Structure formats: structure tokens, C-alpha cells
């Protein structure tokens, strides 16, 4: 299972670290990309985000995982308001194996995955060979069509895949 996490309110790095700690209760083998600072899109009049991608094995249904993600968001003070607006933490399910899900509450692959550089870069850092489960097209090709810029390396986390931080 692959996730995207973002934060642009309060102590963004602490918000992500806390969310990742809680997410390990859902996926104990959690690993992450590095953390990126990213410019907001859609609603641009807000603070910069910190974003990362994570992967892990979850023993629950995608719908149950989604409920647990919403509980983590609420624990960290997320209040749903303006679409694409500021938030303490946002956690999205990007991919669930090779499955396609289209229900009232969940769409997998995430419907805007192919359009978001701030999601694709960290996701492909974790797994460069990922492909769209429907078309089979590699996600790196989608990255080539995303608008340039707006995504900058920021930090690593204690969950960052070790091979990504071997330069230390």
C-alpha cells in the first residue's frame, strides 16, 4: 500500500513524524521517501507544504485503512474546510497493490496521482518502476508531463528508506 502525507500548518515536520508514528500501527513495516517542501497548488494563498510518500503492508481492507487515516488526521487536529486548503496533516491512499477501487468513499489509484509532481517524485523515489494498474504505463512518464518546479528536497525521517540516506 502506498500513501502520500502532507502538512502546512503548525510544526510541519513534527506533524509528519507524529502521523508516521501513528501510521505504523496500521502498517508496521512502514518506509518513507525523503521529505520535500512543496509549493501549494489549486489554492495558492497558503504556506508551503512538507510532503512525502510512504509504503507498507496493511492487513486490513482499504476502506478500513481509510477510516484509520481519517482518525490519525483528526488526532493531529485536521479540520476539513476549504478544499485543497491548509491542514495540519493530510494522508491519502495512492495505491493498494494492483487493485482498482472506485467506491463512494475511496478511489484507488488516487485520481490526481498522475497530475501531482509533489506526489510522484517521492513515490518514484520509493519505487521507481511503479506503473498505473489500469494502463500499465510507468508513472515516471506521468512525471514528465507535470508542470516543472515547486518541489524541493527538505529532510529525512527516521522512517526514510535506508538506501536513500546511505550518503550520510
Catalytic residue numbers? 78, 87, 90, 92
Secondary structure, 3-state, 41-60: CCCCCCCCEEEEEEECCCCC
Distance CA 7, CA 13 (A): 8
47 in the Ramachandran plot: left (φ > 0), alpha (ψ -120 to 50) or beta?
A: beta
Q: How many CB atoms lie within 10 A of CB 96?
A: 18
Amino acid at each position: 500500500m502506498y500513501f502520500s502525507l502532507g502538512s502546512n500548518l503548525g510544526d510541519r515536520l513534527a506533524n509528519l513524524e507524529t502521523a508516521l508514528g501513528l501510521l505504523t500501527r496500521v502498517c508496521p513495516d512502514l518506509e518513507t521517501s525523503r521529505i520535500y517542501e512543496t509549493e501549494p497548488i489549486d489554492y495558492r494563498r497558503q504556506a508551503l507544504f512538507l510532503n512525502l510518500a510512504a509504503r507498507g503492508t496493511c492487513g486490513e481492507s482499504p476502506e478500513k485503512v481509510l477510516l484509520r487515516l481519517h482518525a490519525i488526521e483528526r488526532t493531529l487536529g485536521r479540520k476539513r474546510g476549504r478544499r485543497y486548503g491548509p491542514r495540519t496533516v493530510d494522508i491519502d491512499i495512492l495505491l493498494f497493490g494492483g487493485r482498482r477501487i472506485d467506491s463512494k468513499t475511496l478511489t484507488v489509484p488516487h485520481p490526481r496521482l498522475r497530475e501531482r509532481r509533489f506526489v510522484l517524485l517521492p513515490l518514484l523515489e520509493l519505487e521507481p518502476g511503479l506503473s498505473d494498474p489500469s494502463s500499465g504505463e510507468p508513472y515516471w512518464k506521468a512525471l514528465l508531463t507535470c508542470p516543472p518546479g515547486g518541489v524541493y528536497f527538505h529532510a529525512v525521517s527516521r522512517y526514510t528508506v535506508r538506501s536513500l540516506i546511505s550518503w550520510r
